[in-house]
Amino acid sequence: MKKIVTIIGARPQFIKAAAVSRELKKHLALNEIIIHTGQHFDDNMSEIFFREMEIPKPAYNLNINGLSHGAMTGQMLEGIEKILLEEKPDWVMVYGDTNSTLAGALAASKLHIKVAHVEAGLRSFNYKMPEEINRILTDRMSTILFVPTDTAIKNLEAEGFKNYPTQIVKNGDVMQDAALYYAKTSEQQSKIISYLNLKKFVLATLHREENTNDINVLQRLINALNKINAEIPVVVPLHPRTKKILAQHNLQAEFKITDPVGYFDMIELLKHCSLVMTDSGGLQKEAFFFQKHCITLREQTEWVELVEKGFALVAGSDELKIQNAFEYFRNKKSDFNINLYGNGKASAVIVETLLTA
């Protein structure tokens, strides 16, 4: 039996792990042990996902959060290393681009344990983003790179990965697996549409440091959302950190702010909204999964195929660009029936690969 230690710590990773863990459970030859670093720790950002999505309970919870990038990553590295020495797994599986991802990959590689990186090869080419550094370093330490798109493969090839002892596997996007699976039951599990009395509305999120650390940038984004809210209600499930910054600087949001929501609530918001506006990488894709256009509130995106195919526009924090993108998508019709991300089979490819690796 192969032992796989999965390391997760943030909301998007919970969603991805739910899809892959469900597939892993189908095979007796694979035993999964989950480490939760605690990077996202409160109920709305963590526990609700384990309950709703029936993710196996973590065998370990490091409860590491609220620290600087260096301190957080260092403490995670130390904690994960101790567990890996005890568990002696065949593989360590990491997801995405968080501090938890980097710490897990680094701990495993130092101990000569094979690393599988799910959602590898993505690049924003913005080296000021901590996520960009995390994903580049994690890719370089990994044994198998599970990539979601052809663009991700091209990125890796441009960086010389053909010359490295690394296997590149295009599997699609495990978040689409989760979206398709849980969309069948979200309506029974969530009452958020009726609770908030929503009809036609725009769904928006804001949390990236590039948007929240610079108050001028954040002010422009708030202004843009306020203007759009004057035409159609804007609903923003707000990250606790962003909410705190708004209060500290007395930034006036005229749109509807809610606490962070669980996955079923988010699916229902996606199903019923008219448009998505976000700086989240995951939500850009989830908008596509539920056939909604997206305005990307960043200066670049890793999901370039969404822009190339006309499903998303990159507007950054430019108020005029945001307003123009809103007007552009107001009546735009698109055919979303295109296979960009594996059509729900991404997790199965991962598991089949690990069975024979």
- Tell me which DSSP letter residue 97 carries: T
And the tokens for 61?
A: 């919870």
Please give the helix or strand (H or E) that residue 115 lies within, else none: strand 114-118
Specify the CATH number of the domain 186-330. Answer: 3.40.50.2000
φ and ψ of 189, to 5 deg = -90, -25
- Listed in sequence order, the residues at least 6 apart from 27 whose beta carbon sits closer than 8 Å to its beta carbon are 351, 355
Q: Are the CB atoms for 355 and 180 separated by under 8 Å?
A: no
Nearest to 245 by CA among 283, 211, 279, 276: 211
* Cβ neighbours around 21 below 10 Å, total: 22
Instruction: Count Cβ atoms within 10 A of the Cβ of residue 226 and give its class: 0-12 exposed, 13-18 middle, 19 or more buried.
Output: middle
The C-alpha atoms of residue 347 and residue 292 are separated, in whole angstroms, by 24
* Side chain identity, residue 128: K
Nearest to 275 by CA among 326, 238, 336: 326
- Tell me which DSSP letter residue 55 carries: P
Mean pLDDT of the chain: 94
Q: Are the CB atoms for 148 and 342 separated by under 8 Å?
A: yes
- 207 as an active site residue: the answer is yes
Catalytic residue among 207, 239, 272, 293: 207
Q: Where in the chain is the domain with CATH 3.40.50.2000?
A: 2-173+342-356, 186-330
CA-CA distances (angstroms) from residue 224 to 7, 22, 269?
Answer: 37, 40, 20
Q: Which pLDDT tens digits describe the chain residue by residue (357 residues)?
A: 999 999 999 888 988 999 999 999 999 999 999 999 987 655 445 577 777 777 888 999 999 988 899 999 999 999 999 999 999 999 999 999 999 999 999 999 999 999 999 999 999 999 988 999 999 999 999 999 999 999 999 999 999 999 999 999 999 999 999 999 999 899 999 999 999 999 999 999 998 888 999 999 999 999 999 999 999 999 999 988 899 999 999 999 999 999 989 889 999 999 999 999 999 988 999 999 999 999 999 999 999 999 999 999 999 999 999 999 999 999 899 999 999 999 899 999 999 999 999
And the tokens for 25?
A: 């459970």
* Cβ neighbours around 188 below 10 Å, total: 8
Question: Dmax of the chain from CA atoms?
Answer: 58
pLDDT digits (tens, 9 = 90+) for 205-261: 998 888 999 999 999 999 999 999 999 999 999 988 899 999 999 999 999 999 989
Which pTM does this prediction carry?
A: 0.87
Tally of residues, the chain? 357
CATH superfamily assigned to domain 2-173+342-356? Glycogen Phosphorylase B; (3.40.50.2000)
* Side chain identity, residue 55: I
